Amino acid sequence: MQRVKACSLDELPEGQCRVVQLGKRYVTVAHRGGNIHAVDDACPHMGGSLGTGWLTDDGTIVCPWHGWEFRLADGGGVWPAGVSLDTFETSVEDGIVYVHTDDAVEDAAQ
């Protein structure tokens, strides 16, 4: 497992999300309820960027294209149920947000 710099914590205020590129993959990193989450950026419906969607008070992320909604904690589909996203472990150290991945990639934040 590789730990990859995604961004600084200052670049990810509470209630916000941003898209980072980890190798060939795009991941949405979100700060909600004091927790940092990372999920696959592409909505499984039609590939809309979840990072350009919005976060809810219930800890979900909503696709801006057609309203598909997923839990940040485990990637599980809220609407529609039965669909899910890949999730990634995250950590914060010295004000830097890291995403943990099995893919060989370089740091997203330079």
| Cα 1 from Cα 57, distance rounded (Å) | 31
Partners of 29 in the β-ladder:
18, 38
**What is the pLDDT, as a whole number, of residue 106?**
63
**What is the pLDDT, as a whole number, of residue 34?**
93
For residue range 82-106, what is the model confidence (pLDDT) as tens digits?
A: 999 999 999 999 999 999 988 766 6
**What is the pLDDT, as a whole number, of residue 1?**
82
Ranges in the chain, pLDDT < 50:
110
Class of the CATH-defined domain 2-101? mainly beta
**What is the pLDDT, as a whole number, of residue 24?**
87
| Complete DSSP assignment for the chain | -EEEEEEEGGGS-TT-EEEEEETTEEEEEEEETTEEEEEESB-TTT--BGGGSEE-TTSEEE-TTT--EEETTT-BEEESTT-B--EE-EEEETTEEEEEESS----S--
Report phi then psi at 19, rounded to 5. -100, 135
